[in-house]
Structure 1
Amino acid sequence: MLQDQVLKDSWFAVMVADNLGNKPVPIEIMGERVALFRTEKGVHAFKDLCIHRGAALSGGWVKNGVLVCPYHGWEYDCSGQCVRIPSQPKEQAITQKAKAIVYECQERYGLIWVSLGQPSSSPPPYPEYSDPAFRTIISGPNYVNGAFTRVVENFLDVGHLAWIHDGLLGSSEYPEVKEYKVHFRDGRYISDPIYVYQPDPDGRGQSINNGIVYEILSPFTARLTKTDPNTGIIKINWIHAVPVSARKTLMFSLVARNYDLDASNDTFLEFQNTINQQDAAMIETQRPEELPLDLQTELHLKSDRLAIAYRRWLTELGVTVGTA
């Protein structure tokens, strides 16, 4: 497991909730193997390790509300306590030491969230998910062979829109980024509106001059709100990047819109998947793979103010995973 106490106590979105059925599923967070499973009481996360002989609990099954280890049939209830050892006489008491390691787990915004430590707050907010004025799609799981910090900073990078997403989120004919400022408010960083010409910002083939406001909500989570001042069209992109390992990232994108609410989500989902693939291809070429926090290591422009704020915040928080 990658040791980082700052990140350990955070919430990580690890799976689309609808994808967790009646079988346990293995996932990995910062090198830690975790078994996810669902019972009538909700979703649960255990360290993917049976205390008996170290087998992966995710290889087992759920029966009558308990998780069964595939190696010797040990049964664990939702609290992690072993309640049955088949090879032991029924009348013999089960030692209290026979217990799985349990992680905090909850379902929110259509995703399953896990914390490896003791979270002091709820997962980052996404109010549009339950707002009837918006419709939300989920893109993911998407894997990137790069540090989660590079993934988040890429999302905050206004200048790349005209090049990596030329013809979609930007145009190489209009690459200039107007000066903007970044502010720290209510525990998050937020930018002034940045106005960008977007030839086709959502796959509908319609150009928009969007005012984009970026927010950095946590080391893993950022969002942007795009508003067309002429039509009132609002589109929100929210990303969450989970460090699977030091140089591998699991990412989810939640995209909300206040228009075409009755339209099929397929066009919007296909478009977001294309954008994510374009970003991943570039991120995977960056060196070093981890994000340099020393601002002297790479060159910076005024248009990089969001990235600078993000790097400084990581430094203040003491984040070590994914940083150089």
Structure 2
Amino acid sequence: MVTTDKIILNDWHAVARVSDCQPGTLKQVRLLEENLLLWRSDSLQDSIQVWQDRCPHRSARLSLGNVSDKNLVCLYHGWEFDQAGKCVRIPAHPTQQPPISACVKVYHCHESWGLVWVCLGEPDQDIPPFPEWDQPSYHKVFFGPYYFRSSGFRVVENAFDVPHFAFVHDGSLGTRSNPVIEDYEVTVNAEGVTLSNIHIWQPDTDGIGTTGKVTYFHKICRPLTLYTIKEFAKGRETGLYTISPISEEESMAWGVAAFNYEPEMLEAEFQAFQDKLYCEDAPMVESQHPARLPLLPRNNTEGTMLPETHVPSDRGSVAYRRWLRELGITFGVC
């Protein structure tokens, strides 16, 4: 059942890479507890379609069917649908005009930053921005997707939680011998939550052993999307990290990174480094109870109403939780 949380329902969520949706292919995904079908006609010029994965005839999954030229054919009874989701042919009754009710539910779809974005409601804003995508001086690489048995908000919070680097990512993004987190700045406005001037020393900043001081800038531009800038001696690494809520306690993470310097590692090596970080993060995130993120009311400055305790280095997550509360988020939180 699709959520009634309008903020989440009307937002854009990444569900696949554009490269995964080749002409004539079908792909099944799940978003907000809804089974979806992604498909593209035999022509690369046609846009990717996102439909409810259900035939209006006898509710069979359309993802079991096949593409025929520009149309989709249901495997069960051969009903054929055009790209608007309207049935145009019923093989058992070839001369009969298909009934008006023989239509598939079609959702909003957009292709940006190499990802397929879906909105199950009525989008009230554009796809989350990623300014480096169109800059030729930046090298781009994908990472993920990563499955978490946890609320997407827990996953986002973990992504900008720097204090865990020294322990969960000891030897790469942090070290137990230097766990101290300096003060950093947090601002909240109409554009989201911003964390800036986060300084940390890393024994392996890029997966190939480069050691040094790193400065992070995080902008939570949507409830489940994080834009990050990481600056160190080599240059600047930016990233768009977005979480798609499969359900209230399941999520999928998608990432795109961009570098303004020539990477010394292959794309596969960078992905392997990100895979390693995910394997370290997932057990921690999935162990958190409750799986849904506890929100923090604005007037609860000490956090005493929560089953979780906060310290100064948690100021980013405290601001994030209050912001979600003010937005009126109800899906995947408690």
Give the TM-score category using the shorter length: over 0.9
Q: Output the TM-score relative to the length of structure 2.
A: 0.93
C-alpha distance in 2, partners of 1:119/1:48? 21
Following TM superposition, by how much is the alpha carbon of 1:232 offset from its aligned partner in structure 2, in angstroms?
Answer: 5.5
Partner of 1:144: 148
Pair 1:74-2:83 in alignment = no
Q: Output the TM-score relative to the length of structure 1.
A: 0.95
Identify unmatched segments of 5+ residues in structure 2.
Answer: 297-302
Q: In the alignment, which of 89, 94, 117 is matched to residue 89 of structure 1?
A: 94
Per-residue Cα deviation, 1:169-225 (whole angstroms, up to 9, x for no partner)? 111111111112211346122122111001102111111201111111111101221
Per-residue Cα deviation, 1:269-300 (whole angstroms, up to 9, x for no partner)? 11111112211121011111111114431111
Per-residue Cα deviation, 1:142-191 (whole angstroms, up to 9, x for no partner)? 10111111000101211111111111111111111111221134612212
Decide whether aligned partners of structure 1 residues 262 and 198 sit closer, same or farther in structure 2, where only a CA change above 3 A counts. Answer: closer
Any conservation in 1 of the 2:148–2:250 contact (CA below 8 Å)?
yes
Partner of 1:238: 240
Partner of 2:299: none
Pair 1:308-2:308 in alignment = no
Q: In the alignment, which of 162, 181, 205 is matched to residue 201 of structure 1?
A: 205
Any conservation in 2 of the 1:202–1:272 contact (CA below 8 Å)?
no
Partner of 1:44: 49
Q: How many residues align?
A: 321
Identify unmatched segments of 5+ residues in structure 1.
Answer: none
| SS of structure 2 residue aligned to 1:102 | coil
Q: Which moved more, 1:53-62 or 1:237-246?
A: 237-246
Partner of 1:33: 35
Any conservation in 2 of the 1:149–1:291 contact (CA below 8 Å)?
yes
Q: In the alignment, which of 102, 120, 125 is matched to residue 116 of structure 1?
A: 120
1:1-324 aligned within 5 A: 1-3=1-3, 4-21=5-22, 22-39=24-41, 40=43, 41-90=46-95, 92-185=96-189, 187-228=191-232, 231=233, 233-261=235-263, 263-294=265-296, 295=303, 296-297=305-306, 298-324=308-334
Q: Which moved more, 1:191-200 or 1:176-185?
A: 176-185
2:143 partner letter: S
Any conservation in 2 of the 1:44–1:106 contact (CA below 8 Å)?
no
Any conservation in 1 of the 2:234–2:261 contact (CA below 8 Å)?
no
Which portions of structure 1, spanning 4 or more consecutive aligned residues, are displaced by more than 3 angstroms? none
C-alpha distance in 1, partners of 2:52/2:209? 46
Any conservation in 2 of the 1:16–1:141 contact (CA below 8 Å)?
no
Following TM superposition, by how much is the alpha carbon of 1:261 offset from its aligned partner in structure 2, in angstroms?
Answer: 4.5
Following TM superposition, by how much is the alpha carbon of 1:55 offset from its aligned partner in structure 2, in angstroms?
Answer: 0.5
C-alpha distance in 2, partners of 1:181/1:263? 32
**Paired-residue identity, %:** 36
Per-residue Cα deviation, 1:17-52 (whole angstroms, up to 9, x for no partner)? 111232211111111011100123110001111100
Decide whether aligned partners of structure 1 residues 76 and 108 sit closer, same or farther in structure 2, where only a CA change above 3 A counts. Answer: same
C-alpha distance in 2, partners of 1:175/1:223? 24
Any conservation in 2 of the 1:134–1:261 contact (CA below 8 Å)?
no
Any conservation in 1 of the 2:188–2:319 contact (CA below 8 Å)?
no
C-alpha distance in 2, partners of 1:248/1:185? 28
C-alpha distance in 2, partners of 1:262/1:323? 40
| SS of structure 1 residue aligned to 2:257 | strand
Following TM superposition, by how much is the alpha carbon of 1:260 offset from its aligned partner in structure 2, in angstroms?
Answer: 1.9
| CA RMSD between the two structures | 1.4
